[in-house]
């Protein structure tokens, strides 16, 4: 009885949240935690939990397509997962290989032009999984509407270590001057896959940690993080929309902070002395409260405190 009453209320709340969403993250990374605990709760085998989680993954992609999210990275199998019992590991590899092929052949994937790629230390994976990765890559290689990155045998520290070694080899070969190493150099040395920084990390299952997931792509972009209690098979659209709302609040705070910092610099040194701060103030001035906007310093070159007109 109570469950029947909750369903319509949840649908109404879902519609309210969706109507309130005004800013959508470009890249969402998901730590799909809780499959095994869900199975244990149901008195089932761990593999049954993984299969239930795979259904949630398919639904998540539909939500992302509806909302206009451009990239999704799923933490599917970490380097730590190799420590699981062999039987569970092999069943999970079977499921991953089957789902990759199923996704690659699905009409909805081709209709939505989903580009599927795997990231991680793929050489550690069984041949059947590597073949499924190659198959999905070939089948969807021409698409770019929604990028789906499947993190397999992935660890953030290992990715940074591999990138560091690759850069060191370039320096050793005299192909790269150490003084020329910058963030772009590191970006180029990371695993192929993500095409942009992470805006939002979602973790299900109740744990509040990001577990070595995309540290360069996420922390460098100061990604918003949303932790939620439901196990991954129980994750609902309402939970996803709450995560996006967290991202919106994070963006609003970030813009406000940038505007306040730029304003402090411009007030201290004058609009003409700090062009970078002046540009930041022009860009984020709408994040300031009304009184602060009205009291913005005057740029002598423009003759007022108004922002520059946007570029065409």
Choosing from 81, 121, 212, 219, which is the catalytic residue? 81
Distance of CA 189 to the CA centre of its chain: 19
Whether 134 is a known active-site residue: answer no
Residue 118 falls in which region: left (phi positive, over 0), alpha (psi -120 to 50) or beta: beta
Cite the DSSP H helix spans in the chain: 2-20, 35-42, 46-67, 86-105, 107-111, 127-140, 156-172, 183-189, 215-219, 237-269, 275-284, 290-294
CB distance 117 to 148 below 8 Å: yes
Q: What CA–CA distance (Å, rounded) separates 148 from 29?
A: 10
The closest of 88, 82, 7, 92 to 51, measured between CA atoms, is 92
For residue 106 the two structure tokens come to 């699905």
Asked if 54 and 96 count as a contact pair (C-beta separation under 8 A), the reply is: no
Starting at the earlier edge strand, list the strands of the sheet with 224-227.
Answer: 114-119, 146-154, 71-78, 27-31, 200-203, 224-227
81 classed as catalytic: yes
Catalytic site residues?
A: 33, 81
């Amino acid at each position: 009885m109570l469950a029947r009453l909750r369903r319509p209320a949840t649908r109404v709340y879902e519609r309210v949240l969706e109507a309130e969403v005004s800013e959508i993250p470009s890249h969402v990374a998901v730590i799909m935690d809780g499959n095994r605990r869900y199975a244990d709760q149901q008195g089932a085998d761990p593999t049954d939990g993984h299969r239930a989680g795979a259904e949630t993954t398919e639904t998540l992609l539909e939500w992302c397509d509806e909302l206009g999210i451009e990239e999704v990275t799923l933490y599917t199998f970490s380097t730590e997962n190799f420590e699981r019992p062999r039987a569970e590991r092999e069943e999970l590899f079977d499921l991953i290989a089957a789902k990759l092929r199923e996704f690659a052949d699905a009409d909805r994937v081709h209709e939505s032009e989903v580009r599927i790629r795997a990231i991680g230390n793929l050489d550690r994976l069984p041949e059947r999984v590597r073949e499924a990765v190659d198959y999905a890559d070939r089948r969807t290689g021409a698409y770019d509407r929604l990028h789906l990155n499947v993190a397999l045998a992935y660890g953030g520290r290992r990715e940074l270590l591999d990138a560091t070694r690759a850069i060191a080899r370039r320096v050793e070969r005299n192909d790269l001057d150490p003084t020329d190493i910058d963030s772009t150099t590191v970006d180029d040395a990371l695993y192929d896959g993500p095409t942009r920084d992470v805006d939002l990390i979602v973790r299900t299952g109740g744990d509040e940690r990001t577990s070595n997931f995309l540290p360069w792509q996420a922390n460098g972009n100061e990604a918003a993080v949303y932790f939620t209690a439901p196990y991954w098979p129980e994750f609902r659209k309402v939970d996803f929309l709450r995560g996006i709302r967290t991202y919106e609040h994070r963006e609003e705070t970030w813009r406000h902070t940038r505007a306040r910092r730029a304003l402090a610099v411009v007030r201290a040194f004058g609009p003409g002395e700090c062009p970078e701060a002046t540009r930041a103030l022009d860009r984020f001035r709408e994040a300031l409260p009304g009184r602060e906007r009205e009291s913005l310093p005057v740029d002598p070159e423009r003759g007022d405190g108004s922002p520059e007109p946007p570029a065409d």
